[in-house]
Structure 1
Amino acid sequence: MDVESSTAHEVSVDWRGRPCEPGRHGGMRAAVFVLGIQAFEIMAIAAVGNNLITYVFGEMHFPLSEAANVVTNFVGTIFLLSLLGGFLSDSYLGCFWTMLTFGFVELSGFILLSVQAHLPQLKPPPCNMASMDGSCEQARGFKSSIFFVALYLVALGSGCLKPNMIAHGGDQFSSSGGSDNAKSLSTYFNSAYFSFCLGELVALTALVWVQTHSGMDVGFGISAAAMAAGLISLAGSFRHGNKFRFLDKACVRDAEQGGNTKPESPWRLCTVSEVQQAKTLLAVTPIFACTIVFNTVLAQLQTFSVQQGSAMDTVLGGAFRVPPASLQAIPYAMLLLLVPAYELLLVPFMKRLTGTRSGITPLQRIGVGLGTVAFSMVAAATVERRRRDLSASGARMSVLWIVPQFLVFGVSEMFTAVGLIEFFYKQACAGMQSFLTALTYCSYAFGFYLSSVLVTTVNRVTARHGGAGWLGDNDLNKDRLDLFYWMLAALSVLNFFCYLVCARWYNSGADGSDAASAQIAAEGDAKEIS
């Protein structure tokens, strides 16, 4: 049996099908439109996700632990669905049409959420969940169904958008650009994270303030408006984009059997590109797995840490009351300064030390983030223990004491999130960029799902002797959130050492991925952790 293979290559054309001109098409000029939809989309989804526990607990009247699981399952589903978005883009629709289609799906979810939050007949009667008298009616039946349909329309749209925003922007930089292209890609990924931080900052300050003072219905409506603005920005990338790609896949010669010619079964013979894609996917899986615990820590900052802030003194200066969800904006405000400083100061400095064009390699960048995230949970556990002790005497701790846990995580995320996206994108074979980028978000999904599993498991194990469990009460003064945080800190340390083993294995060449190894070697990154 003879097998012929042709090297996969791409032909770049503009929106009218004409060959691209490097000076006129692609590059940062086109990518800036993608950065626009990324900023607006994260602004819309962050305003919902980061304050969702307040709405689910306070207005839909779910118990606190169930409300936390609703949030983590929602966010986890968003990131898990990124695999669907990557698959549809790489196999059928392309980045642009996938983003446009599911952008409207996400927009419809925001609109339905706003309607549900506005109409009293779609919510249970108002009551104070903190009263602990059991009189609050939990949303069930039709009311609950409307809420979850709207919520998961948002999840479907956002999940399918996320990997394609990164991949579509990265595709604007020609793969034939050599060293300049490698540096441009690194700059683009840092710019994408800056755009992400900007969207998060606006969401966690202005939009959360609107939700707190004008109602969640208005807040959800503003999220819908932000999503619409993102779709308008996406339309701008259609004219300037340079990557409507046509890939020549590896060819397989027909097998001759008994004088009859028929195609070989795809179950018996794979193309060269399919084999290479499988090898690449297997090679990066251990690195992917080591980022799951990191995102479990993120889940706590979006759920229990918000409720932790609600149990503290949120008044500053005698008059201004800080919405607890807005505390998550602090690291993003800091990162708006740190990301440019990283690009302009640290990268040139590290480039002189390491000889690597991006300063440090993606695997090293991931390692720095995974190595520091445990300190976020250490800070959270220490503060929570002190808060509980003070509450027993009737005193309230200032909400500013939980700022360090957000700051430490923000710095960790700057290294881990950007490093992971850059790592996956650079390892991708032709036709896999969106799918491998989706693995980044899939890590978030598993992290949030793991959080739900841990919350449920910890409650069951710690309630065996007749108690309510560490997280089994609606009152944090009776729960043991501090012990849960310490457990996550220990898991983070263990996970970091597992990552060091996996990264060293990857660098040893045990993956056997010729394309990935060749690409790393070409960029001077063959040994990423010494």
Structure 2
Amino acid sequence: MEEDDIYTKDGTVDYKGNPANKKKTGTWKACPYIIGNEGCERLAYYGMSTNLVLYFKHQLNQQSATATRNNQNWSGTCFITPLIGAFLADSYLGRYWTIACFSIIYIIGMTFLALSASVHGMKPRCYAKDNCDPTEAQSAMTFLALYLIALGTGGIKPCVSSYGADQFDDADEKEKKHKSSFFNWFYFSINIGALIAASVLVWIQTNISWGWGFGIPAIAMAIAVCFFFSGTRLYRNQIPAGSPITRLCQYFIIGCAEVFTFIGQLEFFYEQAPDAMRSFCSALSLTTVALGSYLSSLLVTIVSSVTAKDGKLGWIPDNLNHGHVDYFFWLLGALSVANFVVFLWIAKWYTYKTAVGTLSVHQK
């Protein structure tokens, strides 16, 4: 009986494929490596993406509407590719190998992007600070790097938080309680990475060079991978299983229910989703963000083409001071109000968890 208590009861295994030993794997022994990986990866992602529209405008010589549209299309792709990563993780590779393989693709993309902004002959030739003339090959390399990054992040976004949840055995009440603390620290690391990226790295890109501005995120991503591999011996791994076709149908039904009912409550979300399907359920929720990015790109295209007829500058010209970007912002404000109204209308179908404090009062 005591020997049975040594191993997890949720079917997880260690890096050798043996049943996971509670005393040697998982919980807070493994989580610091996952949290460190996520913090560095988010610093790399936001450090590279936050200022991307300006890079398109000033270095690739794109107009404002074109730069915005390209940025939104790329961002949408970053939230669509998790469907690929999640499917591979849950059906074939497992979360560990999916994160590992896609991280390598991520680093290759980050390296190409840093090289395209710093190496002579690969970076655009500039006559002044904001006056550059890139060749088609240079622009192509930039977008090749960006879409490699989009593919790489597709294997990480849906798996890392799920992989953290795998480190706690839901059949063990003591471990289950610690899962909430993991998610708190997980999101804290995301916000710290995003804060450094949006302040320090954006300043470097604007005031020092794009080479360093993209090079530092590439280094951060390399550190993230080192963090992840350092914890290999301590991780607990779910075994992928089941027919891909059958599971896809299950993913769609369960994933849609989870997205529309529990979106934004990831701790509860992971408790409800079956262990082997967590990554795909998470990826389905990310597709709503992807859809928003693609619709934003379409909105910019429509507004630019409609308002720029008959020789007019339109709402979003290359020089925003000469257009009516304020009209565009009013349009976005109106859409936000419409979104809030829809939220209130749909809220009547939501399910809610009773607050612990409230429940104890009623029980008394």
TM > 0.5: yes
Unpaired runs of 5+ residues, structure 2, are 1-8, 358-364
Q: In the aligned structure 2, how far is the partner of 1:500 from the partner of 1:185?
A: 31
Instruction: Report the Cα offset of residue 458 of structure 1.
Output: 1.6
The two structures, once aligned, show a CA RMSD in angstroms of: 3.0
Instruction: Report the Cα offset of residue 485 of structure 1.
Output: 2.0
Q: Name the CA shift for 1:225/1:282 in 2 (closer, same or farther; >3 Å).
A: closer
SS in 1 for 2:117: helix
Q: Deviations over 1:438-488 (max 9, x none)?
A: 2233232222212111111122233346522211x1122122222222222
Unpaired runs of 5+ residues, structure 1, are 1-8, 131-135, 251-265, 288-362, 367-418, 509-519, 525-530
Match of 1:36 in 2: 36
Residue type of the alignment partner of 2:140 = S
Match of 2:149 in 1: 154
Q: In the aligned structure 2, how far is the partner of 1:423 from the partner of 1:449?
A: 29
Match of 2:200 in 1: 206
Residue type of the alignment partner of 1:442 = T
Q: Name the CA shift for 1:228/1:28 in 2 (closer, same or farther; >3 Å).
A: same
**1:421 and 2:266 correspond:** yes
Q: Following superposition of structure 1 onto structure 2, how do residues 466-505 of structure 1 map, counting pairs within 5 Å?
A: 466-471=311-316, 473-505=317-349
Instruction: Report the Cα offset of residue 276 of structure 1.
Output: 4.9
Q: In the aligned structure 1, how far is the partner of 2:86 from the partner of 2:208?
A: 37
Match of 2:307 in 1: 462
Contact 1:276 1:429 in 2 (8 A): no
Contact 2:238 2:276 in 1 (8 A): no
Contact 2:72 2:296 in 1 (8 A): yes
Contact 2:51 2:202 in 1 (8 A): yes
Q: In the aligned structure 2, how far is the partner of 1:499 from the partner of 1:185?
A: 29
Match of 1:220 in 2: 214
SS in 2 for 1:190: helix
Residue type of the alignment partner of 2:229 = A
Residue type of the alignment partner of 1:204 = A
Instruction: Report the Cα offset of residue 43 of structure 1.
Output: 1.0
SS in 2 for 1:507: coil
Instruction: Report the Cα offset of residue 66 of structure 1.
Output: 0.9
Match of 2:296 in 1: 451
Residue type of the alignment partner of 1:483 = Y
TM-score by length of 1: 0.60
Residue type of the alignment partner of 1:67 = A
Match of 1:437 in 2: 282
Match of 2:362 in 1: none
Of 427-436 and 94-103, deviating more is 427-436
Q: Name the CA shift for 1:57/1:420 in 2 (closer, same or farther; >3 Å).
A: farther
Match of 1:186 in 2: 180
Q: In the aligned structure 1, how far is the partner of 2:321 from the partner of 2:177?
A: 50
Match of 2:361 in 1: none
Match of 2:255 among 260, 277, 281: 281
SS in 2 for 1:122: coil
Q: In the aligned structure 2, how far is the partner of 1:488 from the partner of 1:177?
A: 47
Instruction: Report the Cα offset of residue 425 of structure 1.
Output: 2.6
Q: Deviations over 1:403-444 (max 9, x none)?
A: xxxxxxxxxxxxxxxx25345433322421011112233232
Q: In the aligned structure 2, how far is the partner of 1:274 from the partner of 1:109?
A: 29
Contact 2:111 2:215 in 1 (8 A): yes
Q: In the aligned structure 1, how far is the partner of 2:54 from the partner of 2:122?
A: 17
Larger Rg: 1 or 2?
A: 1
TM-score by length of 2: 0.85
Match of 1:167 among 162, 167, 175: 162
Instruction: Report the Cα offset of residue 200 of structure 1.
Output: 1.2
Q: Following superposition of structure 1 onto structure 2, how do residues 110-509 of structure 1 map, counting pairs within 5 Å?
A: 110-127=110-127, 139-178=134-173, 183-245=177-239, 276-284=250-258, 286=260, 363=262, 419-422=264-267, 424-464=269-309, 466-471=311-316, 473-507=317-351
Instruction: Report the Cα offset of residue 282 of structure 1.
Output: 3.5
SS in 2 for 1:432: helix
Contact 1:50 1:204 in 2 (8 A): yes
